[in-house]
Structure 1
Amino acid sequence: MSVEPQTASEKGADGPAAPSSRRATAAALRGLGLLVALGALILIALAGVWVGTRDIPFTATWSVLWRPDGSEAAVIIHDYRIPRTVLGLLVGMALGMSGALMQALTRNPLADPGLLGVSLGASTGVVVAIAFLGMGTVLGYVWFAFAGAAIASVVVYLLGSSGRTLATPDRLVVAGAAVTAVLYAFNSAVLLLDPRAFDQFRFWTVGALAGRNLDVVYVILPFVGVGVLIALGLAPSLNALAMGDQVGRALGVDVGRTRALGAFAVMLLCGAATAAAGPIGFVGLAVPHVARFMVGSDQRWVLAYSMLLAPILLIGADVLGRVIGAPGEVQVGIITAFLGAPLFLALCRRRKLVML
């Protein structure tokens, strides 16, 4: 009994063309998901401009959004709601991408942007500005917060790479924990001895977007922009390092350079976000896991999705805080903790937290 030979097209159905077709389909679905996330971000940003403690109809909001007429509604929208929404966009992007970077650099699924002492460094800068220099406004101490974050990051990296040894994930984590403990003790001592500084600092440390204007946005915008570009540029190298330092070197990755640039990007992103809005928890920890759940472990997609999903969560939490706290509001740092913790626990129960 003779068997007819397979044609070239029949061979390709189960041959090398099949994996390529599946990869193309997966990439198309991921790209479509990215567009959906972008659309959701635009909608939630519009909600951030529309919803507030002062009830303004959507038609009036839309009208004065494009044609400010000097009315009370126009002042509320342009001077208060737009700046905090834009700030939420930048801070969310920074926290999401810095969290994804930290988890990739340390190969630790429980790493968050504050692991390198960045958040505590920013807090220390604010404590010094308030307690010793008498700063009383966000714009006044935002530079001190960023300087504190930068100094803490540099110290952690130097401690993690002391001697002839390159900075490894374990050494960075240990150095970050040590620096964080020292800064926490310093902050606590200063604030306990200065009730006035403590009273002012507690409003910053809860994490908030309210009370910030566009001047703060202009301050952090260059740092967030540079941090985002560095993070996206490091994505292929991070994919190689996920398989280990030796494999990464075999694939041509400069491990020391990648870690140094990654730590610098985390410092820029997390430092800018913390300086502008205070320490906001769970966004940088939970969002990268949501991104990996949706698109897998490819850092190019994880970083891109984190860049959009994190501001969706942050601006959405800010809007929710205004709704449930009306006629006042609940600060966004409190809302993200309530939203992020159950989300993270659900992800833990649904799947193992792995980096590969």
Structure 2
Amino acid sequence: MSSVQERRAAVSGTHSGQHPAPKRRSVLRAATVLTVLLLGLVLTSLLVGSGASSPGRAWDYLLGDPQARADAQLRLAVMDVRLPRTLAAVLVGVCLGLAGCLLQAATRNPLAETGLLGVNAGAAFAVVCGLTFFEAESSTALLGWALAGGITASAVVLLLAASGRTAGSPLRLVLVGSALGATFHGLTSYVLLGTRATFDTYRYWTIGSLAGVETGDLLDLLPLVLLGLGTALACSRPLSALGLGDDSARSLGHHPERVRLVVAGAVSLLAGCAVAVAGPIAFLGLLAPYAARAVAGARMTAQLLLSALVAADVLLLADLLARIVIRPWETPVSVLLAFVGGPLLIWIARSRRMSTAGASA
């Protein structure tokens, strides 16, 4: 079946030709495997850390052993360190997976990622301003500045992209986002030149890490994440129509420009929350949609589900490796993702099947 026929089937909910059950079964199997893997990684993440607490003692604590529960150091390791960063890895992975899938579908660009909307650059500039001019040093303060900067930057991109004759077009979104991102990068460098203390703190934030995340911060961001998730699901059918081309989408009753602007808003929320929690994480929002499309084809809802699961699994696995590679110290999770993501991106570029999946986005 051609990609156009598949997308028409995805929009209409039926397939031409053969019965669609095999494809649905593939999606269901993949979702089941990824979910089981995610649960296993969550449990492993609670048991394994860079500290001295053994997995056996952590397992006893989770089972409610009285002696283990009485160990204050063990409780600190499991509940105050490992649990928040485990939840953060799942939350950030889901956000980046959904954001990347939405953006690639909306722009029909298989190389699109959240940095194109200026989210990362806006968050970085806001963090630098908070550190330099407002003495924001706590993790909660940095999270607030990063979230505000990311969302503000993407809002400016949306306002600029919504004006003119080509309002809301994929090319306009990418161009405006790239231009604004470059501007923010320049301003960030200018501010950092005269503030060494700010640079030291900013350097730690910008490498991307899940260490030091607090559960309260994640709960504060949860409403925004749920709003972005709901918007993503609501846009799944219009995005499937956009895959047929703007003219075909209009003939089906959709408004491509409005759909792209709404999608960009959802991407801003999701990516802003992810960057606020973990800093800039490269490759994840770019690679997860490829894996999802390889299984789900043109079905947008299935793509979103699988992208979220793949990204959560990969980020949680990378965070686990970050704790044990150079124990008792930790490796920034973004460094591990870069080592894995670079070669994987080259493999994708050389793989006919994956390139076809990306090109049909």
User: What's the TM-score once normalised by structure 1's chain length?
Assistant: 0.92
CA shift at 1:157, angstroms? 1.2
Aligned: 1:198 with 2:199: yes
Aligned: 1:283 with 2:284: yes
- Identify the residue that residue 23 of structure 2 maps to in structure 1: 26
Q: How far does the alpha carbon of each residue in 1:73-119 deviate from its partner, in whole angstroms, 9 at most, with x for none? A: 12200000000000010000001110111111111111111111011
Q: How far does the alpha carbon of each residue in 1:240-295 deviate from its partner, in whole angstroms, 9 at most, with x for none? A: 10121111111111223211210110010000000111001000011111111222
Aligned: 1:41 with 2:46: no
- Identify the residue that residue 359 of structure 2 maps to in structure 1: 354
Task: For 1:54 and 1:182, locate their aligned partners in 2 and report how far apart those are by CA, in whole Å.
Answer: 41
Task: For 2:152 and 2:75, locate their aligned partners in 1 and report how far apart those are by CA, in whole Å.
Answer: 41
1:1-356 equivalent positions in 2, closer than 5 A: 22-67=19-64, 69-71=69-71, 72-351=73-352, 352=355, 353-356=358-361
Given that residues 206 and 334 in structure 1 are in contact (C-alpha distance below 8 angstroms), is that contact kept between their aligned partners in structure 2?
A: yes
Given that residues 292 and 307 in structure 2 are in contact (C-alpha distance below 8 angstroms), is that contact kept between their aligned partners in structure 1?
A: yes
* Structure 1 gaps, min length 5: 1-16
SS of the aligned residue for 1:329 comes to coil
CA shift at 1:29, angstroms? 2.2
- Aligned residue type for 2:69: D
CA shift at 1:19, angstroms? 5.6
CA RMSD of aligned residues (A): 1.7
Q: 1:299 to 1:206 in 2, by over 3 A?
A: same
Q: How far does the alpha carbon of each residue in 1:217-240 deviate from its partner, in whole angstroms, 9 at most, with x for none? A: 112211111111111221111111
Sequence identity percentage? 37
- Aligned residue type for 1:27: R
CA shift at 1:28, angstroms? 2.0
Task: For 1:119 and 1:220, locate their aligned partners in 2 and report how far apart those are by CA, in whole Å.
Answer: 17
SS of the aligned residue for 1:108 comes to coil
SS of the aligned residue for 2:39 comes to helix
CA shift at 1:55, angstroms? 4.3
Given that residues 220 and 276 in structure 1 are in contact (C-alpha distance below 8 angstroms), is that contact kept between their aligned partners in structure 2?
A: no
- Aligned residue type for 2:44: A
Given that residues 93 and 308 in structure 2 are in contact (C-alpha distance below 8 angstroms), is that contact kept between their aligned partners in structure 1?
A: yes
Given that residues 84 and 212 in structure 1 are in contact (C-alpha distance below 8 angstroms), is that contact kept between their aligned partners in structure 2?
A: yes
Q: How far does the alpha carbon of each residue in 1:99-140 deviate from its partner, in whole angstroms, 9 at most, with x for none? A: 111111111111111111011111111111101100111201
Task: For 2:350 and 2:312, locate their aligned partners in 1 and report how far apart those are by CA, in whole Å.
Answer: 24
CA shift at 1:54, angstroms? 2.1
Given that residues 26 and 295 in structure 2 are in contact (C-alpha distance below 8 angstroms), is that contact kept between their aligned partners in structure 1?
A: no
Task: For 1:42 and 1:194, locate their aligned partners in 2 and report how far apart those are by CA, in whole Å.
Answer: 44
Given that residues 53 and 77 in structure 2 are in contact (C-alpha distance below 8 angstroms), is that contact kept between their aligned partners in structure 1?
A: no
- Identify the residue that residue 8 of structure 1 maps to in structure 2: none
Task: For 2:70 and 2:257, locate their aligned partners in 1 and report how far apart those are by CA, in whole Å.
Answer: 54
- Aligned residue type for 1:328: W
Larger of the two Rg values belongs to structure: 1
Task: For 2:196 and 2:45, locate their aligned partners in 1 and report how far apart those are by CA, in whole Å.
Answer: 35
Given that residues 108 and 355 in structure 1 are in contact (C-alpha distance below 8 angstroms), is that contact kept between their aligned partners in structure 2?
A: no
- Aligned residue type for 1:54: G
Task: For 1:70 and 1:107, locate their aligned partners in 2 and report how far apart those are by CA, in whole Å.
Answer: 55
SS of the aligned residue for 1:22 comes to coil
Given that residues 240 and 300 in structure 2 are in contact (C-alpha distance below 8 angstroms), is that contact kept between their aligned partners in structure 1?
A: yes
Q: 1:20 to 1:60 in 2, by over 3 A?
A: farther
Q: 1:66 to 1:136 in 2, by over 3 A?
A: farther
Q: 1:73 to 1:151 in 2, by over 3 A?
A: same
SS of the aligned residue for 1:326 comes to coil
- Aligned residue type for 1:29: S
* Structure 2 gaps, min length 5: 1-13
CA shift at 1:316, angstroms? 0.4
Task: For 2:151 and 2:348, locate their aligned partners in 1 and report how far apart those are by CA, in whole Å.
Answer: 32
Given that residues 47 and 56 in structure 2 are in contact (C-alpha distance below 8 angstroms), is that contact kept between their aligned partners in structure 1?
A: no
Given that residues 122 and 274 in structure 1 are in contact (C-alpha distance below 8 angstroms), is that contact kept between their aligned partners in structure 2?
A: yes
Task: For 1:66 and 1:268, locate their aligned partners in 2 and report how far apart those are by CA, in whole Å.
Answer: 37
Task: For 1:333 and 1:191, locate their aligned partners in 2 and report how far apart those are by CA, in whole Å.
Answer: 22
CA shift at 1:40, angstroms? 0.5
Task: For 1:215 and 1:140, locate their aligned partners in 2 and report how far apart those are by CA, in whole Å.
Answer: 13
Q: 1:254 to 1:40 in 2, by over 3 A?
A: same
